[in-house]
Amino acid sequence: MYDRPPLFTPARRRHALRATAAAVAACAALLTAGCGSSQDTTEDAKATAGPAAGFPVTIDNCGVKTTYDKPPSRVVTIHQHPAELMLALGLKDRMVGTAFPDSAVLPELKKDYEAIPELAKKEPSFETVLEAEPDLVYGGYGSAFAEKEGRSRKAFADAGIDTHLNREYCGKKRVTMKDTYDEIRTIGKIFGVPERADELVADLTGRVDKASAKVEDEPEAPVFVYDSGDKTAFTAGGKSLGTELIRLAGGRNVFADLDDVFGDVSWEQVVERKPEVIAVYDYAGAGSVAQKKKFLLSQPALKDVPAVRNKRFVVLPLTATLVGIRSAYAVEDLARGIHPESFA
């Protein structure tokens, strides 16, 4: 059962006041020019206000169909990777709020990102989002639209606000780089900038191809992803984008046979699979990279694991392993860490 938002939120009151003011101003202008009937005015408006070029656009996103008659102009992003994707498409002027930064923003996007109001350090409340008066909310993780926290997609729809969820959380069995490119093109379509989307995809595929070419003749190195955990290891499974990033970088995820995006494995299994490199995922709330490395290096059971013995770690921001522009950058970072000799 969904709770409907209050009929008159502060945001809606402001909308009403603005609409009233606009109507008064319009009426005054019409009086000086000679007003026709309200029906004439409506017909004139219909004749001059056609749909934006390339619109309407209908998108089926995780089973929710949305028709856009024009590009959204007031967007709130929840989680960092949707915000970076929009900024990379040159859509800063459409953004009225961000939330939940979980790693350092790409240097070339940092200035624009910091210019947009931050609504919350974590997921904002439904009311906080409404205060920003968005016409679209773009979520990165499924938790962006958590029903139990009052932010369901239905609740936003009831408030007249469209929503879009990163396709990674649409319940697909396996996530690949194609999902990243498809997500970019979908956002480009929603905002009427398909050419920019194609250019961005071309740039990212070029980055991936260049990094992969550097290591294509190297032997495949076994890689263990360490997200977190002490009693057991929380790691990336075969359905994660991380597994494909490792493959493109000349490695092999030692837990690619784990039939999930993430899952727990025993330390005994880690020892048995003898990883030569450990990819450490970096994000707020799971301990620092220094703490993670210290833990791994201090475990007697792991001392003979090649990656631990040789202290071979590659650090990746968690955002770089998600469907977003950072994943293409992650391939080069991984390739450099797995096969440094190829980049000497």
**Domains, the chain:** 57-165 (3.40.50.1980), 217-343 (3.40.50.1980)
Residues of the chain with pLDDT under 70: 1-51
Cα–Cα distance measured from residue 137 to residue 156, given in angstroms and rounded to the nearest whole number: 8
For 288, phi and psi rounded to 5 degrees? -75, 165
Q: What is the pLDDT of residue 160?
A: 97
**In whole angstroms, how far apart are CA 212 and each of 220, 317, 319, 321?**
12, 20, 20, 16
Using the CB atoms, write b or e for 154-165: b if 16+ within 10 Å: ebbeebebbbbb
Q: What is the pLDDT of residue 50?
A: 56
Q: What is the pLDDT of residue 63?
A: 93
Structural contact between residues 135 and 190, judged by C-beta atoms closer than 8 angstroms? no
3-state DSSP call for residue 8?
Answer: coil
Of 136, 135, 153, which Cα lies nearest the Cα of 144?
153
- The DSSP secondary-structure symbol of 150 reads T
Structural contact between residues 230 and 301, judged by C-beta atoms closer than 8 angstroms? no
Q: What is the pLDDT of residue 60?
A: 96
